[in-house]
């Protein structure tokens, strides 16, 4: 599955401001870029994200837990709490800081934080594009288990 990332930005963790809109070739950079540039995170948008009920996704290297982390909002109802938590427990290898899920009443969506390192198929040689595709598949499978 090829994911078309329409917007990819390098952003400052400190200010959350855009450092640069990434050139098209940037998505072919290994994900280890984030470990080498820990003051940055990558923000991406894709119209294909709508298919898996998210708008955008950020990737960063969490220097506290030493893990690559994806942060995104998932637009499903609060009543799916048990299914979401069970899926994370079964599909994200256990590690300190490996995943969290909280429902935001204000936003009306689940705020998910998933350690990409803890997903089957991840390695640091994957490109940024490949990591986003891995996460897309992860969320698509989560939605299948919820059976919306």
Every domain of the chain and the residues it spans: 7-146
The pLDDT score that the predictor gives to residue 147 is 75
Does domain 7-146 sit in CATH 3.30.1460? yes
pLDDT of 90-131, one tens digit each?
Answer: 999 877 668 999 999 988 899 999 999 999 999 999 999 999
Residue 85 has φ and ψ, to the nearest 5°, of -65, -40
Mean pLDDT, residues 46-68 taken together: 95
Mean pLDDT, residues 125-146 taken together: 96
Q: What is the pTM of this model?
A: 0.93
Mean pLDDT across the chain, nearest whole number? 93
The pLDDT score that the predictor gives to residue 96 is 67
Mean pLDDT, residues 69-83 taken together: 95
Region of poorest pLDDT, from 10-19, 66-75, 92-101? 92-101
Q: How far apart are CA 65 and CA 117, in angstroms?
A: 11
Q: How far apart are CA 57 and CA 31, in angstroms?
A: 14
Mean pLDDT, residues 4-16 taken together: 95
């Amino acid at each position: 599955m090829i994911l078309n990332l329409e917007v990819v930005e390098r952003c400052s963790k400190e200010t959350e401001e855009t450092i640069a809109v990434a050139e098209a070739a940037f998505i072919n950079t290994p994900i280890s870029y984030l470990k080498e540039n820990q003051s940055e995170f990558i923000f991406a948008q894709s119209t294909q994200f709508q298919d898996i009920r998210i708008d955008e996704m950020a990737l960063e290297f969490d220097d506290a837990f030493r893990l690559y982390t994806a942060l995104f909002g998932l637009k499903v109802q609060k009543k799916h709490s048990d299914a979401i938590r069970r899926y994370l427990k079964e599909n994200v290898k256990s590690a300190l800081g490996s995943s969290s899920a909280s429902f935001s009443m204000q936003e009306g969506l689940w705020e998910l934080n998933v350690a990409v390192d803890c997903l089957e198929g991840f390695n640091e040689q994957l490109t940024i594009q490949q990591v986003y595709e891995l996460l897309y598949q992860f969320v698509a499978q989560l939605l299948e288990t919820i059976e919306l």
